[in-house]
Amino acid sequence: MDQYFLNLMADLREQEVLDLTKEKIASGVDHLEILDSARAAMEIVGKRFEVGEYFLPDLIMAGEILRGVSELVKPYIKQKEETKKKGRVIIATVEGDIHDIGKDIVVFMLDVNGYEVYDLGVDVPAKRIVEKIKDVSPQVVGLSGFLTLAFDAMKKTVEEIERAGLRDVIKIMIGGGQIDERVREYVKADAYGKDAIAAVNLCKKWI
């Protein structure tokens, strides 16, 4: 892992990060190593936000830098991926929550690991998620929420899935800033993941 790259990204120095990303690609650095450094930088950004060193605009800026790095690296990773997808996953930030940085990292990591990902975006009502499950028949549904108010929305979403008779045919994972085992039990999800790598590992286990 490149500590210099990690520090630049954690300090939100966008152009320097993008320039260095291009240099790394040109010099043949492993593309997944670049993404691993970016993921580690996002963890630092998240911690700085938690302690009040960073604020919402900083989170948004970090997300934009991540997207820029992803767009540069993704084509090269896709060249190595098999065309056949490993499985289908629906991802959404639940109703009442508009945070998407963590969700976007999960979507990206699942995509480059060969999964067909349906990203429904943020502030997504439970009924829309149920409709999408009926439409694409995923094996896994991922619910994201950064705010504590998202817990009730996650619980409502799982209940809607149960009412639709779909709960037994899918696995549900949840993730976000305050998620832990107690929240998982409250929501009645199958598992929670602390980061994007955990989400990928859960999908590998379930699909």
Report the pLDDT value the prediction gives residue 155, as an integer from 0 to 100.
97
Q: Percent of the chain at pLDDT above 70?
A: 96
Residues 116 and 137 occupy one common structural domain: yes
Domain containing residue 63: CATH number:
1.10.1240.10
Q: Closest Cα to residue 38, out of 63, 59, 15?
A: 63
Asked if residue 81 has pLDDT above 60, the reply is: no
Residues 157 and 198 occupy one common structural domain: yes
The total number of structural domains that make up the chain: 2
Name the domain boundary from 80, 114, 134.
Answer: 80
Residues 74 and 93 occupy one common structural domain: no
Name the domain boundary from 36, 58, 80.
Answer: 80
Residues 98 and 169 occupy one common structural domain: yes
**14-60: pLDDT as tens digits:** 999 999 999 999 999 888 788 878 878 887 887 888 788 988 788 88
What's the DSSP call for residue 129? H
**87-101: pLDDT as tens digits:** 999 999 999 998 887
- Domain membership of residue 177 as a residue range: 88-206
Is pTM beyond 0.85 here?
A: no
Per-residue exposure over 63-87, b if at least 16 CB sit within 10 Å of its own CB, e if not: bebbebbbebbeeebeeeeeeeebb
Residues 98 and 192 occupy one common structural domain: yes
Burial class (CB in 10 A: 0-12, 13-18, 19+), 152: middle
